[in-house]
Protein backbone atom coordinates (compact mmCIF):
# COMPACT_ATOMS: atom_id res chain seq x y z
CA UNK A 1 0.00 0.00 0.00
CA UNK A 2 1.50 3.32 -1.05
CA UNK A 3 -1.31 5.63 0.00
CA UNK A 4 -3.50 5.94 3.03
CA UNK A 5 -6.87 4.41 2.26
CA UNK A 6 -10.05 4.48 4.28
CA UNK A 7 -13.08 2.27 3.93
CA UNK A 8 -15.92 2.51 3.61
CA UNK A 9 -16.20 5.98 2.10
CA UNK A 10 -19.47 6.51 3.95
CA UNK A 11 -21.80 4.64 6.22
CA UNK A 12 -25.19 5.16 7.79
CA UNK A 13 -25.74 3.95 11.33
CA UNK A 14 -28.87 3.73 13.41
CA UNK A 15 -28.70 5.52 16.73
CA UNK A 16 -27.59 3.09 19.40
CA UNK A 17 -25.80 0.75 17.02
CA UNK A 18 -22.07 0.24 17.09
CA UNK A 19 -19.89 0.55 14.03
CA UNK A 20 -16.30 0.39 12.88
CA UNK A 21 -14.25 1.33 9.86
CA UNK A 22 -10.75 0.91 8.56
CA UNK A 23 -7.63 2.88 7.76
CA UNK A 24 -4.90 1.18 5.73
CA UNK A 25 -1.44 2.69 5.49
CA UNK A 26 2.06 1.81 4.31
CA UNK A 27 3.55 -0.52 6.92
CA UNK A 28 7.16 0.21 6.00
CA UNK A 29 8.84 3.12 7.82
CA UNK A 30 5.94 3.57 10.20
CA UNK A 31 6.15 6.53 12.55
CA UNK A 32 2.65 7.31 13.80
CA UNK A 33 -1.02 7.07 12.91
CA UNK A 34 -3.47 9.89 13.63
CA UNK A 35 -7.27 9.90 13.78
CA UNK A 36 -9.33 13.08 13.46
CA UNK A 37 -13.05 13.81 13.61
CA UNK A 38 -14.30 16.55 11.29
CA UNK A 39 -17.80 17.83 11.85
CA UNK A 40 -19.44 20.05 9.28
CA UNK A 41 -18.53 23.74 9.66
CA UNK A 42 -15.96 22.96 12.34
CA UNK A 43 -12.24 22.30 12.39
CA UNK A 44 -10.87 18.76 12.38
CA UNK A 45 -10.44 17.61 15.95
CA UNK A 46 -7.74 15.18 17.02
CA UNK A 47 -8.95 11.89 18.45
CA UNK A 48 -5.84 9.75 18.75
CA UNK A 49 -2.14 9.63 17.97
CA UNK A 50 -0.93 6.05 17.96
CA UNK A 51 2.62 4.85 17.64
CA UNK A 52 2.93 1.31 19.06
CA UNK A 53 1.93 -1.90 17.35
CA UNK A 54 -1.01 -3.43 19.18
CA UNK A 55 -1.88 -0.14 20.82
CA UNK A 56 -5.48 0.51 21.70
CA UNK A 57 -6.78 3.94 22.66
CA UNK A 58 -10.17 5.03 23.94
CA UNK A 59 -11.99 8.33 24.22
CA UNK A 60 -15.50 7.99 25.56
CA UNK A 61 -17.42 5.69 23.22
CA UNK A 62 -14.75 5.86 20.52
CA UNK A 63 -11.75 3.56 20.45
CA UNK A 64 -9.01 2.68 17.98
CA UNK A 65 -6.60 -0.18 17.45
CA UNK A 66 -3.34 -0.26 15.55
CA UNK A 67 -1.51 -2.98 13.63
CA UNK A 68 1.71 -1.54 12.27
CA UNK A 69 3.00 -4.83 10.86
CA UNK A 70 0.10 -5.27 8.48
CA UNK A 71 -0.63 -1.56 8.11
CA UNK A 72 -4.15 -1.01 9.38
CA UNK A 73 -6.08 0.71 12.12
CA UNK A 74 -9.71 0.31 13.11
CA UNK A 75 -11.88 3.00 14.64
CA UNK A 76 -14.87 1.82 16.67
CA UNK A 77 -17.89 3.81 17.77
CA UNK A 78 -19.95 2.12 20.46
CA UNK A 79 -23.62 3.01 20.80
CA UNK A 80 -23.60 5.66 18.05
CA UNK A 81 -25.29 8.97 18.77
CA UNK A 82 -26.36 11.67 16.28
CA UNK A 83 -23.50 13.87 17.53
CA UNK A 84 -21.07 11.22 16.23
CA UNK A 85 -22.05 12.20 12.70
CA UNK A 86 -18.86 13.49 11.10
CA UNK A 87 -16.10 12.61 8.68
CA UNK A 88 -13.37 10.58 10.34
CA UNK A 89 -9.92 11.09 8.87
CA UNK A 90 -6.85 9.02 9.48
CA UNK A 91 -3.32 10.09 8.61
CA UNK A 92 -0.02 8.27 8.54
CA UNK A 93 3.20 10.02 9.47
CA UNK A 94 5.57 9.35 6.58
CA UNK A 95 8.80 10.64 8.08
CA UNK A 96 10.24 11.71 11.39
CA UNK A 97 9.72 15.45 11.04
CA UNK A 98 6.10 15.73 10.19
CA UNK A 99 4.67 14.89 6.80
CA UNK A 100 1.24 13.45 7.47
CA UNK A 101 -0.51 11.71 4.60
CA UNK A 102 -4.25 11.71 5.01
CA UNK A 103 -6.90 9.33 3.80
CA UNK A 104 -10.05 10.65 2.14
CA UNK A 105 -12.11 9.92 5.24
CA UNK A 106 -15.12 7.87 6.24
CA UNK A 107 -18.30 9.90 6.48
CA UNK A 108 -20.54 8.62 9.27
CA UNK A 109 -24.19 9.58 9.46
CA UNK A 110 -26.07 8.52 12.58
CA UNK A 111 -29.82 8.63 12.23
CA UNK A 112 -32.19 8.79 15.21
CA UNK B 1 -8.71 29.62 24.48
CA UNK B 2 -5.59 28.98 22.47
CA UNK B 3 -6.51 28.26 18.91
CA UNK B 4 -5.84 28.37 15.19
CA UNK B 5 -7.83 30.99 13.29
CA UNK B 6 -8.27 31.19 9.56
CA UNK B 7 -9.61 34.17 7.68
CA UNK B 8 -11.74 34.53 5.78
CA UNK B 9 -14.07 31.56 6.19
CA UNK B 10 -15.24 31.88 2.60
CA UNK B 11 -13.30 33.57 -0.18
CA UNK B 12 -14.47 34.20 -3.70
CA UNK B 13 -11.93 35.32 -6.28
CA UNK B 14 -11.88 35.70 -10.01
CA UNK B 15 -9.90 33.55 -12.36
CA UNK B 16 -6.35 34.90 -12.41
CA UNK B 17 -6.84 37.41 -9.60
CA UNK B 18 -4.31 36.98 -6.77
CA UNK B 19 -5.70 35.97 -3.42
CA UNK B 20 -4.22 35.61 0.06
CA UNK B 21 -5.51 33.36 2.81
CA UNK B 22 -4.39 33.92 6.36
CA UNK B 23 -3.83 31.81 9.42
CA UNK B 24 -2.96 32.83 12.94
CA UNK B 25 -2.27 30.80 16.05
CA UNK B 26 -2.07 31.52 19.75
CA UNK B 27 -0.57 28.13 20.59
CA UNK B 28 3.03 29.24 20.02
CA UNK B 29 3.64 26.11 17.96
CA UNK B 30 6.82 25.75 15.91
CA UNK B 31 5.31 23.96 12.96
CA UNK B 32 2.61 25.32 10.67
CA UNK B 33 1.06 23.51 7.72
CA UNK B 34 -1.13 24.35 4.75
CA UNK B 35 -3.35 21.62 3.37
CA UNK B 36 -5.62 21.70 0.34
CA UNK B 37 -8.72 19.55 0.28
CA UNK B 38 -10.86 19.13 -2.80
CA UNK B 39 -14.28 17.60 -2.56
CA UNK B 40 -14.29 14.06 -1.08
CA UNK B 41 -10.53 13.78 -1.46
CA UNK B 42 -7.79 13.43 1.11
CA UNK B 43 -6.29 16.68 2.41
CA UNK B 44 -3.07 17.28 0.50
CA UNK B 45 -0.05 18.92 2.11
CA UNK B 46 1.09 22.00 0.17
CA UNK B 47 3.92 23.18 2.45
CA UNK B 48 4.96 23.47 6.03
CA UNK B 49 7.21 25.61 8.20
CA UNK B 50 9.40 24.44 11.02
CA UNK B 51 9.97 27.80 12.68
CA UNK B 52 11.14 29.88 9.71
CA UNK B 53 12.37 26.93 7.68
CA UNK B 54 10.11 26.57 4.68
CA UNK B 55 9.43 23.15 3.16
CA UNK B 56 7.65 22.94 -0.15
CA UNK B 57 6.07 19.69 -1.33
CA UNK B 58 7.49 18.61 -4.68
CA UNK B 59 4.11 18.59 -6.37
CA UNK B 60 2.87 21.92 -5.02
CA UNK B 61 2.32 24.20 -8.04
CA UNK B 62 4.53 27.29 -8.36
CA UNK B 63 1.30 29.29 -8.34
CA UNK B 64 1.16 28.70 -4.58
CA UNK B 65 3.44 30.64 -2.29
CA UNK B 66 3.59 31.03 1.46
CA UNK B 67 4.92 33.48 4.01
CA UNK B 68 5.47 33.18 7.72
CA UNK B 69 6.51 36.59 9.04
CA UNK B 70 6.49 35.45 12.67
CA UNK B 71 5.53 32.48 14.84
CA UNK B 72 1.89 33.48 15.00
CA UNK B 73 1.01 34.15 11.39
CA UNK B 74 1.20 32.25 8.14
CA UNK B 75 -0.17 33.23 4.73
CA UNK B 76 -1.02 31.31 1.61
CA UNK B 77 -0.76 33.31 -1.60
CA UNK B 78 -2.26 32.03 -4.83
CA UNK B 79 -0.78 34.19 -7.55
CA UNK B 80 -3.10 33.34 -10.42
CA UNK B 81 -5.99 31.17 -9.25
CA UNK B 82 -7.44 28.74 -11.72
CA UNK B 83 -10.76 26.95 -11.55
CA UNK B 84 -8.91 23.87 -10.33
CA UNK B 85 -7.73 25.71 -7.24
CA UNK B 86 -11.22 25.88 -5.81
CA UNK B 87 -10.97 23.90 -2.59
CA UNK B 88 -11.00 23.99 1.19
CA UNK B 89 -7.67 25.25 2.53
CA UNK B 90 -6.75 24.10 6.01
CA UNK B 91 -4.08 25.55 8.24
CA UNK B 92 -2.72 23.42 11.06
CA UNK B 93 -0.08 23.68 13.75
CA UNK B 94 2.00 21.25 15.72
CA UNK B 95 4.13 21.81 18.80
CA UNK B 96 7.16 19.80 17.74
CA UNK B 97 6.06 17.46 15.01
CA UNK B 98 3.26 14.91 14.86
CA UNK B 99 5.18 11.87 15.99
CA UNK B 100 3.55 12.15 19.39
CA UNK B 101 1.40 15.25 19.16
CA UNK B 102 -1.73 15.87 17.12
CA UNK B 103 -2.23 18.67 14.64
CA UNK B 104 -4.43 21.59 15.63
CA UNK B 105 -6.53 22.80 12.75
CA UNK B 106 -8.29 26.02 11.90
CA UNK B 107 -11.83 26.04 10.53
CA UNK B 108 -10.54 26.31 6.99
CA UNK B 109 -11.12 28.76 4.16
CA UNK B 110 -13.32 27.62 1.32
CA UNK B 111 -12.08 29.20 -1.89
CA UNK B 112 -14.33 29.66 -4.89
CA UNK B 113 -12.86 30.75 -8.22
CA UNK B 114 -15.26 32.32 -10.71
pLDDT tens profile A46-102: 999 999 999 999 999 999 999 999 999 999 999 999 999 999 999 999 877 778 899
Closest CA to B103 of B89, B111, B91, B114: B91
Alpha-carbon gap, residue B49 to B43, rounded angstroms: 17
Cβ-based contacts of A103 with chain B (< 8 Å): 42
Mind listing the pLDDT tens digit for each residue in B88-107? 999 999 987 778 889 999 99
Alpha-carbon gap, residue A111 to A69, rounded angstroms: 36
8 Å CB contact of B35 and A102? yes
Provide the β-strand partners of residue A21. A75
Q: Chain A: residue nearest B32 by CA?
A: A98
Q: Chain A: residue nearest B110 by CA?
A: A41
Which chain A residues have any C-beta within 8 angstroms of a chain B C-beta?
3-4, 9, 31-32, 34, 36, 41-46, 49, 51, 89, 93, 96-105
Smallest Cβ distance to A49: which of B50, B90, B100? B100
Mind listing the pLDDT tens digit for each residue in A15-56? 999 999 999 999 888 899 999 999 998 999 999 999 999 999
Alpha-carbon distances, residue B62 vs A14, A101, B17, B57, B87 (angstroms):
46, 21, 15, 10, 17
| B18 and chain A in contact, CB less than 8 A | no
Render B30-76 in DSSP notation, one character per residue: SEEEEEEE-TTS--EEEEEEETTEEEE-TTS-TTEEEE-SSSSEEEE
Amino acid sequence: ILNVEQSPQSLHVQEGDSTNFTCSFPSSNFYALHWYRWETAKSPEALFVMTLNGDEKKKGRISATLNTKEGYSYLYIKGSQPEDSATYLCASLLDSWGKLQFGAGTQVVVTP
Amino acid sequence: DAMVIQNPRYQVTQFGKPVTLSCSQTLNHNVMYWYQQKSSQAPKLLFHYYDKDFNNEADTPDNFQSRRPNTSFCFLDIRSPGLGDAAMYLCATSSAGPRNSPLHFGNGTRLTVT
